[in-house]
A = this chain, B = another copy of it.
Amino acid sequence: VIETPRAVRWHDGAVRIIDQTLLPGEFREIDLVTVDEIDEAIRSLRVRGAPAIGVAAALGLVASLATHLALPPQHLCTRLAEHAERLRAARPTAVNLGWAIDRLLARAARAARHAPAASRELWEALRDEALAILEEDRAMCRRIGEHGAGLLRPGATVLTHCNAGALATAGIGTALAPIYVALERGVRVRVLVTETRPLLQGARLTAWELGRAGVEVTVITDGMAAAVMRDPGVDLVLVGADRIAASGDVANKIGTYGLAIAARHHGVPFYVAAPSSTLDLSCATGAEIPIEQRLPDEVRSGLGRLTTPADAAVLNPAFDVTPAALIAGIITERGIVRPQDVGLTSAERS
């Protein structure tokens, strides 16, 4: 079994995360307890990746309530609702965040309906629910890896974007999971990773975690992707997702859409890997997915030095939408489906 980093876990009443803003220069884990700490860590991308922020928010709600157990259960529920709305607003695009929060709220509502449970019992039920979300995420990553590994031939060249690896989940990742599972089976592939401006998650995070696992990885700038698809060539593009509409349109890190167009131009299959919690049936198409606009300074001086005239206008959408028509398949924990079928149940698909 391959060693991958644990981006988010439960540790002694706190949410323990790897502070990803410090990688690759420094590996530091930090423990988050208060809702302020958790909110800040999600907003500033100390913990990022759609599945990981869902898990972090769920564990974070539990951690942040632990000092309120002297309150009566109904007051604890009020506090939970306040914290939940606070964290829900931390980042708008990744649907897993709202999904995980809603699971905890539903668990609390269920507990309240049954009996006037003690606050500690209620809290323990929430903790168990959050830990279940974490364990399910780990299991989903593993199954995504198993379904996707079959797409990888020995010696294949895979191109990925941003980080949809262990650092983006509680487990072995989404887009990188097939690569790890293939490696466990003795199938080695070569990975090209786009550095992913503005925040360089590909260069900083994906290159780091793949290198640590012994995968051959080469970093390119975002603008090189089309050129490398032509020469030396790419066999497969594998990316993650922050939200998938019912139509199969996929919101993912800015730059994904351009990669999908270039892949189509070169006849390279373009796959998206994501747990089913990334699916949002309330969005009929990608046009309804809210796109987070981040601060211009991430582009202007995100690398510690002003690289753009201080008065120049800058755009900084964190995500773009890749239409289903450009996607060969979506790898979920249930298998590989055509994007237009992602919103259907397995009965409807057959």
Binding site for B on A (CB under 8 A): 24-25, 194-198, 200, 203-204, 207-208, 211, 216-228, 230, 253-255, 257-258, 261-262, 264-265, 299-300, 303-309, 311-317, 320-321
Task: Find out whether the CB atom of B255 lies under 8 angstroms from the CB atom of A223.
Answer: yes
Which of B25, B253, B254, B303 touches A303 (beta carbons < 8 Å)?
A: B303
The listed residue (B203, B264, B312, B320) touching A308 by CB distance below 8 A is: B203
The complex places the Cα of A46 from the Cα of B227 at a distance, in Å, of: 26
A223 CB contacts on chain B under 8 angstroms: 194, 196-197, 222, 253-255, 258
* Chain B hits for A253, CB < 8 A: 223
A331: min CB distance to chain B, Å: 22
Closest to A225 in B: B258
Considering the complex of A and B, which 3 residue pairs feature the smallest CB-CB distances, nearest first? A223-B255, A226-B258, A303-B303
Closest partner residue, chain B, to A232 (CB atom): B315
Q: How far is it, in angstroms, between the C-alpha of A198 and the C-alpha of B224 when the chains are bound?
A: 10
Residues of chain B lying within 8 A (CB to CB) of residue A304: 303-305
Number of copies: 2
The answer to whether B261 touches A299, judged by C-beta atoms less than 8 angstroms apart, is: no
A303-B305 contact in complex given A220-B314, A227-B254, C-beta closer than 8 Å: yes
Q: Pick from A194, A257, A307 the residue with the most CB of B within 10 Å.
A: A307
Give the complex CA separation of A321 and B305 in angstroms: 31
Asked if B218 and A299 sit within 8 Å, CB to CB, the answer is no
The CA of A195 and the CA of B313, in the complex, are separated in Å by 12
A225 to B265, CA, bound (A): 16
> Contacts A219-B308, A223-B254 given; 17 further ones with Cβ under 8 A?
A25-B306, A200-B308, A207-B309, A211-B309, A218-B312, A218-B313, A219-B315, A221-B255, A221-B299, A222-B255, A224-B254, A224-B317, A227-B320, A261-B265, A262-B262, A303-B305, A303-B307
